[in-house]
Chain A
């Protein structure tokens, strides 16, 4: 019973691991370029959870100063993840812009089709 309790207590880490691995799998295993970007976004989301979930202090309030409370949750992970989310959005935006241009230049966004017609150097 103690083992199961241990496993359930770390549920946030299990979620992080699941998202991380599934995101990486999608990037590696799917040939459609937009699906790869979706996998990348999923992978980055797991990293946000990795920072945020230890930031919540048990028994802590949101980190807004008030005379009634003495234990606050840690605000620093939230600031870091806000920055990381913006970086993630910029990356996905650049990636999607590249996919649009690739579709115009090659006519397809499936990687295996593009490599098949690629001229050899």
Chain B
């Protein structure tokens, strides 16, 4: 019974966990319940992935109503990959959260933090697993509202402003998505994504469908922070609680990229998107602008979290570049970079969170001399930074390898050169931090810093180790990403 209902349990267990946490008074019990839920999630997700890899896509009819009349949860290779990514990141970051939250949020709000975190997790998982266009909107808003609340819990009062700005922009994005779905519904008469794909067969070039595509693309691009719709991201990541930033940086934008892939390749089909429409040119232009523009702005930031946030915007540019290249290698590069960037940024933000926990400093110039005093954390930061640059032996190299390979297959030499050139800018902003941390004398709060306690140390080191491990043994991640890319390009669901 449990095995047959796994797709529903993937979403219901965090929801029930959130309900239970909202009833509690003590933060430690809420953390324990959240830990149990977050350990069950990867188990369910990996079971689903194994099942999909052996026997094909899983279709689960919610409420017993057969699709396309009822809401369907549809798991295929790409969805299972994203489910596994989100659940594994949540499970790794949760032990870290206990001490970090105890320091950054007032004690009476801890149970609410964990309840809202579980709702965010439920929304992200639901977005990845649902096969109904409007159901995806509901989960998208559940996760977005939970995100606004999580961000506003930061210590700095500018966290409130950042949450408000994100709320206004995110709601506009979600409403654009709803408009797109509305046009598609009035043209096809169905909300089920697979059914929509078959009914769009004759009418893809009619004006309402093209308008729907435009609205969907803009709405989802707002959620995934594609340049120039990324304005909410730097403030939101800089002022949220440290572990919330780490979780959101690793998961929220990735699920939005999954949504874009789902609509582009499964509902509309690669032939419509890339043959007649200027999608390739638009996404190439915006991705390269993100890669260069955001990296250059990151060089001039004083707040290290803000620097990493702009770096995230640049890395999202790489992912959408993979979509723009749109052959097997490019798409594999984009999809595997979803996973790799989650690992890299997760490790980087957790390391910085440990610095904040131990010393309270976020300005780069204040971090002088940390290298000797927090060697393990700064080592993890260095590994993450090398991966951002794309040094061979780390996951960053794998993604860039596939992207360059894909660009060369299309005879776009200039694009391959641009990818390598933008990686050089990462050297500058990572190098700045390395120079301050290792080659300067310590002062102020840094002098008394040590490596954080084990509950915060181990998740960071685990993510850093995974950054290196999956850069050497790529069969799991790149293999699954390649399979997903094949399925997407063939239009199979």
Contact = CB atoms under 8 A, between A and B. Distances in A.
User: A and B: direct contact (Cβ < 8 Å)?
Assistant: yes
Nearest to B162: A98
Contact of B168 (A27, A50, A106, A118): A27
Interface stretch (B53-61, B77-85, B141-149, B247-255): B141-149
A54 B186 contact: yes
A12 to B, nearest CB: 13
A37 B158 CA distance: 19
B164 A51 contact: no
A92 B476 CA distance: 43
Nearest to A20: B179
B182 interface: yes
Contact of A98 (B138, B160, B178, B302): B160
Given A121-B301, A121-B306, A90 B145 contact: yes
Interface residues of A, number: 29
B163 interface: yes
Contact of B134 (A37, A80, A98): A80
A121 B302 contact: yes
Contacts of A84: 137, 178
B168 A40 contact: yes
Interface in A50-93: 50-51, 54, 80, 83-84, 87, 90-91
B157 interface: yes
A36 B141 CA distance: 19
**A-side interface mostly:** helix
Contacts of A36: 168
B195 to A, nearest CB: 14
A105 B162 CA distance: 13
B14 to A, nearest CB: 18
Contacts of B306: 121
B62 interface: no
Interface string B160-175: 1101100110011011
Query: Number of contact residues on B: which range applies?
Result: 20 to 34
Contacts of A50: 179, 182
A44 interface: yes
A27 B185 CA distance: 27
A77 to B, nearest CB: 8
Given A43-B175, A87-B141, A121-B303, A95 B164 contact: yes
Nearest to B144: A91
Given A98-B163, A102-B160, A47 B148 contact: no
Nearest to A24: B172
A103 B406 CA distance: 51
Given A94-B149, A98-B163, A101-B152, A118 B171 contact: no
A99 B164 contact: yes
A114 B161 contact: yes
Contacts of A90: 141, 145
Interface string B253-278: 00000000000000000000000000
Interface string B208-249: 000000000000000000000000000000100000000000
Smallest CB-CB A-B distances: 9 pairs: A105-B157, A98-B164, A87-B141, A121-B303, A102-B160, A50-B182, A101-B160, A91-B171, A51-B182
Given A47-B175, A87-B138, 19 more contacts: A27-B168, A43-B172, A44-B171, A44-B175, A83-B138, A84-B137, A84-B178, A87-B174, A94-B149, A98-B152, A98-B164, A98-B167, A101-B160, A102-B160, A102-B161, A105-B157, A105-B160, A121-B302, A121-B303
Interface of B: 134, 137-138, 141, 145, 148-149, 152, 157-158, 160-161, 163-164, 167-168, 171-172, 174-175, 178-179, 182, 185-186, 238, 301-303, 306, 363
6 contacts: A27-B168, A91-B145, A91-B167, A98-B152, A118-B158, A121-B303
